[in-house]
Every structure is written in C-alpha cells, then in structure tokens.
Amino acid sequence: MTSETLQPQQSWDADRYQSQHSFVWQYGAALIDLLNPQPGEHILDLGCGTGQLTNTLAETGATVSGIDANANMINAAQRQYPQLSFAVADACNFQVDYPVDSIFSNAVLHWVKPPERAVQAVARALNPGGKFVAEFGGKGNVQKIVGAVETVRQQGNLSPWYFPSISEYAQLLERHGLEVTFVALIDRPTPLDDGDRGLANWLKMFGSQLLAGLSPNDTETVLRRVEAHLRPQMYDGHQWTADYRRLRVVAVKQTH
C-alpha cells in the first residue's frame, strides 16, 4: 500500500474518538450487511479509524486491510488488532498491490477533497466487477449545527465538509466507471454521548475547523451560544441529538 504524505487539517485524538464517539462504528454495522462480505474475499476498509469495523469485516472470514490518513488512528488500530494489516494512506491517492474485491468506507468521505480523486483511487483499486460500499454525510448533513455556528460567528461558508446530493455523487461514480446499484439519502438523527456536554464535545472532536481562529476563551463563548441556539431543537434535557443525514451507496466497477 502506498500513498503521498498527507497533512490533515483536522486533528484527531484517537483515545477520545474511541471513548466518546463509538456511535461512528456502531452505526457502521448496518453498512456491513449491505456489503455482505464473503469468506476469502479481499476487502479494503477506506478510512478505517481505530479499526473496529475492519475487525468486524475480518471476522466474516474475508481478508481485510485498513487504511487511514491519520497515523494516531492507525497506531491505535494496529495495537488493538495486531493480527490485521493497517497502513497510513490518503484516500485521494492510495494504491493497492493487487486489486481488491470490495472497498468499504464508513463516515469518512465527507472529509476527503477533492472527491474526484478519491473516486478515481477507488476505481483504480477495484477488480472489474468489484463493489464499492460507502456511507458518509449527504446533502443537508449537520446543517443546523453548521448554521448555528455560522450565525453565532456571523460568518458564512465555514463548513469544511463535502456533503453531496444523490445525483451529484451518482454522476461522479458513473464518470469513473462505477455503476450505481443502490443509493439513498437517509435522515439519521444521532444521539450524542455525554449529556449536556454532548454538542460541545462533538464540535471539539469533529468541528474544529468551524471553530478555527478562536482563542480558547472565545471558543467557549461560541460553544455556549451555539448550545443556546440549538437547545430548543436538539436537547431533550438529557441528551443532544445531531441532525445527521447519510448518503449510502453501492456501486460496481464496470468490466469494460
């Protein structure tokens, strides 16, 4: 597995990711059903994070390897699952030694820009007839959260993410020789861990680019104002619920 060096703008704390945001891979289990992995199949987990779903895939008898742009995540994955193969690689330009039967990707591709590069890399790495099964943020994902931060900061266009519509992403896949056999945009309100602190924790873990340029004091002020803004719609007195929308897609590499 090879890739160019990547400088991710989002910093990741692998311990905090595992202890407070386990919903990321718990929801990913449904995507494994869609993939329907078979014993002996070669699967690449693209953006494997700390490796929980890579391990679940491997338990089906498939031969699985995981790649992620973040070395902290890969180190944590390799420590927990020493029997599996992990590597640091960039979704935009990874290469495989041999084409794989399937590429699986959960909750990652909204971070990857430009998206064309990731789709090109996926198409290159698949065997003809191979399957690409992915889920990530779709059009409208976390729109209320982003909108509240932009309102409080009185700034627009703060979102660092790629949240495409069904037609936009299907066309992108088709342009690169991947035939879309299933696609859906699914509202999935997502409860956040840690009670009253849930939204602030989510923003610190995943939304650091929405908070970029703020001093520690100003960050806390913005977080309190964003919470005040969203509390009536997103907090039930015990738990915050984020307005997630997933784009779920299955595509098959054309044989000609």
Residues forming the site for ligand BEZ (CB under 6 A): 107, 110, 137, 141-142, 161, 206, 244
**Backbone phi and psi for residue 255, each to the nearest 5 degrees, phi listed first:** -85, -10
Query: Which residue number, 112 or 142, has a Cβ lying nearer to ligand BEZ?
Result: 142
**Backbone phi and psi for residue 191, each to the nearest 5 degrees, phi listed first:** -65, 135
Question: Mapping DSSP to helix (H, G, I), strand (E, B) and coil, where does residue 246 land?
Answer: strand
Q: Compute the least distance from the CB of residue 22 to ligand BEZ, in Å.
A: 13
Query: Which residue number, 173 or 203, has a Cβ lying nearer to ligand BEZ?
Result: 203
Q: Which residues on adjacent β-strands are paired with residue 180?
A: 251
Q: Compute the least distance from the CB of residue 111 to ligand BEZ, in Å.
A: 8
Query: Which residue number, 1 or 32, has a Cβ lying nearer to ligand BEZ?
Result: 32
Q: Find where tokens 């065997």 sit.
A: 127
Query: Which residue number, 86 or 163, has a Cβ lying nearer to ligand BEZ?
Result: 163
Q: Compute the least distance from the CB of residue 158 to ligand BEZ, in Å.
A: 12
What would the DSSP string read from start to end of 123-190? HHHEEEEEEEEEEEE-TTTTHHHHHHHHHHHT-S---------HHHHHHHHHHTTEEEEEEEEEE--E
Query: Which residue number, 17 or 62, has a Cβ lying nearer to ligand BEZ?
Result: 17
Count of all residues that appear for the chain in the document? 256
Distance of CA 178 to the CA centre of its chain: 20
Q: Compute the least distance from the CB of residue 244 to ligand BEZ, in Å.
A: 5
Q: Compute the least distance from the CB of residue 53 to ligand BEZ, in Å.
A: 13
